[in-house]
């Protein structure tokens, strides 16, 4: 895994946006559409703001979700609410290339199965996404793969979780994350320092360290990196 430590949260957001933009351009030049899965979090919304400023072939990009909370449409807890506000409403892209996890269209297990079918249609069966953006929780979770949840052991492409921090979730599984052509970790804030150190050393006691990406770039700010930044 490549690791870059940048001076601030905004520097991480800008660098992440540039990495995604470069990946889109390279993929489209090869004659393929680009499939991109985005996670939630504070810094990712700044990342999407910066990404929206890039001149990109958005008609060749499919935007998907890494995970989503079961919450009402347009609720602030929904990652898709922010994806739409910070990116979807700002770039010229066909509506049928934005793939929301439809968490209010049935029970979470059914939603997971339906979303797996969507990914198979746009990214192959099993799906191989071009780039997956991931964050890191203070408890070492990534996506919505949280400590102790049955979804950690799922071999499906997409899984439903038990309740976590007040809501059930739908998430890509380790199997899908590991198949991605590129994983982009975005980790900021002093509160992530311990979890980041454990991820970097491959501590399998935390969920985030339990899969190996084909190609991965980790972007962290100095607050999260701690001694790694010196």
Longest C-alpha distance within the chain, in Å? 49
Using pLDDT thresholds of 50, 70 and 90, give the confidence band for residue 230.
very low
Predicted pLDDT of residue 184: 98
Q: Where do we find the tokens 């992530």?
A: 192
Q: What is the pLDDT of residues 85-140, one digit of tens each?
A: 999 999 999 999 999 999 988 899 999 999 999 999 999 999 999 999 999 999 99
Q: Which CATH number is 174's domain given?
A: 3.40.50.1360
CA 229 to chain CA mean position, Å: 24
Q: How many domains, the chain?
A: 1
Q: What is the pLDDT of residues 5-14, one digit of tens each?
A: 999 999 999 9
Task: Determine the average pLDDT of the residues in 219-230.
Answer: 80
Q: What is the pLDDT of residues 23-66, one digit of tens each?
A: 999 999 999 999 999 999 889 999 999 999 999 999 999 999 99
C-alpha distances in angstroms, 110 versus 43, 60, 101, 113? 30, 28, 11, 5
Using pLDDT thresholds of 50, 70 and 90, give the confidence band for residue 227.
low
Predicted pLDDT of residue 172: 98
CA distance 35 to 7: 29
Q: Where do we find the tokens 């905004």?
A: 10
C-alpha distances in angstroms, 55 versus 96, 159, 173, 196? 20, 34, 32, 32
Q: What is the pLDDT of residues 137-165, one digit of tens each?
A: 999 999 999 999 999 999 999 999 999 98
Predicted pLDDT of residue 105: 84
Predicted pLDDT of residue 229: 45
β-sheet bridge partners, residue 136: none
What domain range is 88 assigned to? 2-229
């Amino acid at each position: 895994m490549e690791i870059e430590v940048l001076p601030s949260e905004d520097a991480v957001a800008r660098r992440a946006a540039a990495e995604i933009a470069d990946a889109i351009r390279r993929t489209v030049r090869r004659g393929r559409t680009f499939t991109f899965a985005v996670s939630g979090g504070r810094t990712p919304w700044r990342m999407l703001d910066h990404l929206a400023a890039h001149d990109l072939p958005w008609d060749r990009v499919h935007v998907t979700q890494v995970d989503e909370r079961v919450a009402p449409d347009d609720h602030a807890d929904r990652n898709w609410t922010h994806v739409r506000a910070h990116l979807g409403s700002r770039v010229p892209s066909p509506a049928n290339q934005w793939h929301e996890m439809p968490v209010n269209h049935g029970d979470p297990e059914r939603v997971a199965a339906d979303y797996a079918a969507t990914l198979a249609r746009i990214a192959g069966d099993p799906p191989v996404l071009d780039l997956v953006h991931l964050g890191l929780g203070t408890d070492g979770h990534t996506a919505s793969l949280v400590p102790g949840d049955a979804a950690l052991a799922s071999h499906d492409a997409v899984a439903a979780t038990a309740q976590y921090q007040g809501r059930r979730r739908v998430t890509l599984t380790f199997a899908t994350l590991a198949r991605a052509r590129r994983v982009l970790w975005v980790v900021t804030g002093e509160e992530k320092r311990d979890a980041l150190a454990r991820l970097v050393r491959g501590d399998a006691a935390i969920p985030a360290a339990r899969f190996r990406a084909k190609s991965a770039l980790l972007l962290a700010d100095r607050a999260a990196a701690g001694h790694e930044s010196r």
